[in-house]
Structure 1
């Protein structure tokens, strides 16, 4: 299986980077190996825009642990992947660059996620100075919407999924209905949706200190996924329906949760406004 934008990447390496054909072929082979690993785990859910640092960490770990590659060889794979994702980012094929936190093979393989925060939304709306966008984003994730869906999610669609009247009222109060009777949940001043989640993540980032957990759309989605997976009362079919993922993806996330993920239950502690 060819990796996404393979032809464009090879042209980029040849014309802009002025790399030798042998170097381009070697880099392409590394990227191809990663993409086959990623696609094999996620199946139809595989999307280059959804690749995150943790996916690349898992891949590098598999090279080291399963194929017994040496550190310098693993680092060559990482170098090629960085070049590939820089290309994708530079030409706007992806929204965000996923490799900022990786530094050679000396990376932390354990990812920390705060889980089971969804039932605390009625308390979170009372936290002093919290951004309404934070509540809206968390409410949408808690309702099962995926990050790429939230960008163009209408307010009415989310409100139909919210059961708690206080949370529903908070969202209505903090929504501008002057330009549209059913505005986008997270809209720009002119009422149009954002092109990506970058500006939204920038807006809600300060609330990380208030709430005590990472607040990017992807981190919230993964904390929701691991919250659902930690509920042992749910059957596989119930989990698949809640998360709307394939069985391959479910097995992939379960493996991650077992080998690479540490979880901690959410607690407001001193954060709520008393």
Structure 2
């Protein structure tokens, strides 16, 4: 049994909801995935797997993971939410739990497929001034908008490259605020890099990509963007290409910091939008 009351739930879907086996398996797959996540990443559930103790925040944590790490579409989000709703309604109606943690969760709007879905860089100033987002998330957005990959951003000594970036007045203001934020940690970690661990680790002070994802995961609930570094980077490039159609190739190569092969690839992708 991969999740509580699985056999009872399957029987309920078959005999009371009259669903086909393929649909039942799809629903149970999503429910099972939730409980795998709870067992692996939710210490409270691990210590006491009482279904009645599950809260909305536990389910939100799972959906944040799906959005940030698995980069699911809104349609997938809504499908999973529907499946989890059916499971918790079953539990509640059969008096197997007193908790309905999905009750007030809402589905997401259908995602636009037009270029307007790629234009997040046009709202960069809004994101940079959003105090609900961590400094690390905001700095990442700034650097991705300059067409640096996440791997480049997290490399040692990247701060030296940043010194040569052309910034607007608003962007420079944010960077100044960021440097005030990071300065005490740089001193404690004895490291001038920009993405540093919060706990002192002189041997390995730099934040890893999984470490950055922890900040992105917390910020996701406060941000309209899907905080996927790779997707945001690609969107920034595609939007730039579709709004600079007459720009010479050599200038695009310099601005986007791409090699000719990569530029051809992204031009083909942009043409499909």
TM-score (norm 2): 0.48
The structure with the greater share of residues assigned to helix is 2
Q: Which has the bigger relative contact order, CA under 8 A and spacing at least 6? A: 1
Q: Which has the larger radius of gyration?
A: 2
TM-score (norm 1): 0.48
